[in-house]
Amino acid sequence: MAKYLLLKHYRGAPAAVNDVPMDRWTPEEISAHVQYMNDFAARLEETGEFVDSKALAPGGMFVRYDGEGRPPITDGPFAETKDLIAGWMVIDVDSYERAIELAGELSAAPGAGGKPIHEWLEVRPFLTHSPTVTECSLK
């Protein structure tokens, strides 16, 4: 089994087919979307493929160390993840192909008008070991 991270983006991915921002959905559309996500996770729990999932709150910031005795620096000249990542799901599946299959199904969650979003999801495998110096330099 291999673990994969399925990332849902607010921005930064290609536009979805049903590209109406969630802040313009009705309460019923939001409820239907959340129910789809919960049902999807429950089905994967039954097959042993679900690890965890969370939606992210819009607040947040970048923080970095700024030296001994100095307060951390916040924000910066970068796009904030709160502007990019909406949530995530971790799955544990037998193959990369299965991860792609599930991501495709998850991308069909309903959105505005009850129609499938067909959003782009980022699929990222977890490392199975600590990278070596050679692997890190192969960018």
CATH number at residue 22: 3.30.70.1060
pLDDT of residue 106 exceeding 60? yes
In a domain? residue 69: yes
**Total residue count of the chain as it appears in this document:** 139
Where does the pLDDT of residue 44 fall: very low under 50, low under 70, confident under 90, or very high at 90 and above? very high
Where does the pLDDT of residue 39 fall: very low under 50, low under 70, confident under 90, or very high at 90 and above? very high
pLDDT of residue 83 exceeding 70? no
Say which DSSP state 98 is in: H
Kindly report the pTM of this predicted structure.
0.80
Write out the two tokens for 8.
């849902």
- How many CA atoms are closer than 13 Å to the CA of 4, on its beta-carbon side? 21
Q: Which domain holds residue 19?
A: 2-125
In a domain? residue 137: no
In a domain? residue 59: yes
In a domain? residue 136: no
